[in-house]
Amino acid sequence: MFRKKSDRPVGLKIIVVGCGKVGSTLVEQLCKEGHDVTIIDVNQDKIHELTNWYDIMGVVGNGASYSTQKEAGIDSTDLLIAVTGSDELNLLCCTVARRVAKCATIARVRNPDYSKEAEYLREQLGLAMIINPEMEAAKEIARILYLPTALEVSPFAHGQAELVQFKVPQGNIMDGITLMQLSSKVPARVLVCALERDGEVMIPTGVTQIQAGDIISFVAQRSTIKSFLQHICVKTKRVNSTLIIGGGKSTYYLAEQLLHMGISVKIIEKDKKRCEELSILLPKAIIIHGDGTDEELLKEEGIDTFESFIPLTGLDEENVMLTLHARQLSSTKVVTKINRLSFKNVISSLQLGSVIYPRLIISEAIIAYVRAKKNSIDSNLETLYHLFDSRIEALEFRIDRRSKATDIPLMHLKMKDQVLIAFISRRGRIILPSGTDCIEVGDTVMVVTKHSGFDEIEDILR
């Protein structure tokens, strides 16, 4: 056993089984949130690396073993998260933990066969959550292709509202006007809640002037988003065709969704056996056996004729190079999947457009659950998204009880600086609030802030 540097427990006591890419990302995020983390992995070198880097305890061993879990302190653990490379091992780790300590458990499950039964497995095994990075990444890519002007599209209020990020084009109607003027010029109701300019991010006010080149995030009821973009002369038509490079799990999940949306799909995969599998799994897709990084093959398959291009190889470097190549050839919509989180500043400087980080998607879902569990008697945190390289958080709280933040007009709430109430969802209706609106019990409320670590609605108050 490798002991953490201090024995003072902070926040929740959490065990992470599996120290791969996802596990390492989770450890980093959970430590930032102030939780007492213990890691389990069969690889002693990985344990050494993480315990030396973070203030945590590590145990070398099989995470599904009763004795290993006991050594890691399962009896006093609040949450076990199993993110090894094996779905079966992850489910077994959670089952043992539930039997031994009755703590909450989260399992990573990537196999499509299991993913189709995720809800059944979750209920039968008593899991708090089943996570699938590839499936969640595919969902995010599909949302972007439905609204290709967007850099990011994040759902809130069970899909009734969306947070959309896009870059203001040169000569656009928004260039040079304030947010106050925007509301009078454009009839569709939206709220601009975050803005990045020259690398600096801000929570804007009514007097903030928009400039061409700004990257803005706005929230609106889903049904009004296309109307707003049309009014500001931005294309809103979804793509009709896509070319995907790589035939892994992400490709399967994405192609399945796109075909269901009526989008034609062509996939280039260099493994012949996988091509045969995909042709059976996705009979409506066109499967090409070949090297998707071969320029001649890409030209032959008509890369410049597709409305979208998605590199989903297992190598970040290949995905980036393919994106840059596609952007040279045409104005096709490109979404790039990046697995590693290092060199994010370099990636941002390349202006790749829409970039998806599956590890961050999963991390956000788990951090939202952990924050809610930490304060389970208070207002529940339902959704968490990080914007602009985690410099801004967008959170959704469910209001289950009266508090200092409820039943008071927003204009009279003494909120912290850099905090914005983006919308109130009440009985199926999305309200973009004014100063006279109040937060009520039963609402869900979206908060956008430059602060980090909010886990209940009262955290917005000074």
When divided into structural domains, the chain yields a total of 4
Instruction: Evaluate whether residue 8 is within a structural domain.
Output: no
Of the residues 185, 210, 231, the one at which a domain ends: 231
Summarize pLDDT for 29-73 with one digit per residue, the tens.
999 888 999 999 999 999 999 999 998 999 999 999 999 999 999
Helices 21-32 & 358-374, crossing angle to 10 degrees? Answer: 40
Kindly state whether residues 208 and 258 are assigned to the same domain.
no
Kindly state whether residues 121 and 157 are assigned to the same domain.
no
Taking 50 as the threshold, does the pLDDT of residue 454 lie above it?
yes
Kindly state whether residues 216 and 261 are assigned to the same domain.
no
Provide mean pLDDT across the span 197-203.
Answer: 92
Kindly state whether residues 179 and 282 are assigned to the same domain.
no
Summarize pLDDT for 298-355 with one digit per residue, the tens.
999 999 999 999 999 989 999 999 999 998 888 889 999 998 877 666 777 777 888 9
Kindly state whether residues 259 and 292 are assigned to the same domain.
yes
pLDDT value of position 5:
42
> What's the pTM?
0.85
Q: What is the distance between the alpha carbons of residues 178 and 186, in angstroms, rounded to a whole number?
A: 12
Instruction: Evaluate whether residue 148 is within a structural domain.
Output: yes
Q: What is the band of 10 on the pLDDT scale with cuts at 50, 70, 90?
A: low
Instruction: Evaluate whether residue 418 is within a structural domain.
Output: yes
Q: What is the distance between the alpha carbons of residues 91 and 107, in angstroms, rounded to a whole number?
A: 6
pLDDT value of position 375:
60
Instruction: Evaluate whether residue 4 is within a structural domain.
Output: no
pLDDT value of position 2:
53
Kindly state whether residues 254 and 330 are assigned to the same domain.
yes
pLDDT value of position 314:
87
Handedness of CA 348, 353, 358, 364 (dihedral sign): positive
Taking 90 as the threshold, does the pLDDT of residue 212 lie above it?
yes
Kindly state whether residues 352 and 246 are assigned to the same domain.
yes
Share of the chain above pLDDT 90, in %: 66
Q: What are the DSSP E strand ranges found in 246-402?
A: 264-269, 286-289, 308-311, 333-337, 354-356, 380-387, 392-398
The domain that holds 193 is classified in CATH as 3.30.70.1450
The domain that holds 90 is classified in CATH as 3.40.50.720
Contacts of 175-183 with CB under 8 Å at 24 or more apart are 175/210, 175/211, 175/212, 176/209, 176/210, 176/211, 177/209, 177/210, 178/206, 178/207, 178/208, 178/209, 178/210, 179/204, 179/205, 179/206, 179/207, 179/208, 179/210, 180/206, 180/207, 182/210
Of the residues 131, 158, 181, the one at which a domain ends: 131
Q: What is the distance between the alpha carbons of residues 147 and 204, in angstroms, rounded to a whole number?
A: 24
Instruction: Evaluate whether residue 368 is within a structural domain.
Output: no
Summarize pLDDT for 419-440 with one digit per residue, the tens.
999 999 999 899 999 999 999 9
Summarize pLDDT for 125-139 with one digit per residue, the tens.
999 999 998 999 999
Taking 60 as the threshold, does the pLDDT of residue 9 lie above it?
no
Q: Which residues neighbour 306 within 8 Å (Cβ) at sequence distance 6 or greater?
A: 241, 242, 243, 266, 332
Kindly state whether residues 27 and 70 are assigned to the same domain.
yes
Contacts of 155-158 with CB under 8 Å at 24 or more apart are 155/222, 156/219, 156/383, 156/394, 156/396, 156/423, 156/425, 156/446, 157/396, 157/423, 157/425, 157/430, 157/444, 157/446
Q: Residue 277 carries which side chain, given as an amino acid letter? A: E
Share of the chain above pLDDT 70, in %: 96
Kindly state whether residues 227 and 245 are assigned to the same domain.
no
Of the residues 231, 256, 290, the one at which a domain ends: 231
Summarize pLDDT for 347-371 with one digit per residue, the tens.
777 778 889 988 888 888 888 888 8
- Cβ(393)–Cβ(449) under 8 Å? yes
Q: What is the distance between the alpha carbons of residues 1 and 72, in angstroms, rounded to a whole number?
A: 8
Instruction: Evaluate whether residue 335 is within a structural domain.
Output: yes
Summarize pLDDT for 105-117 with one digit per residue, the tens.
999 999 888 878 8
Instruction: Evaluate whether residue 304 is within a structural domain.
Output: yes
Q: Residue 179 carries which side chain, given as an amino acid letter? A: L
Taking 60 as the threshold, does the pLDDT of residue 8 lie above it?
no
Kindly state whether residues 253 and 301 are assigned to the same domain.
yes
Kindly state whether residues 253 and 148 are assigned to the same domain.
no
Kindly state whether residues 73 and 110 are assigned to the same domain.
yes
For residue 336, the enclosing domain spans: 241-356
Instruction: Evaluate whether residue 317 is within a structural domain.
Output: yes
- Can you list the alpha helix ranges (DSSP code H) found in 107-248? 112-115, 118-125, 133-146, 179-185, 222-231
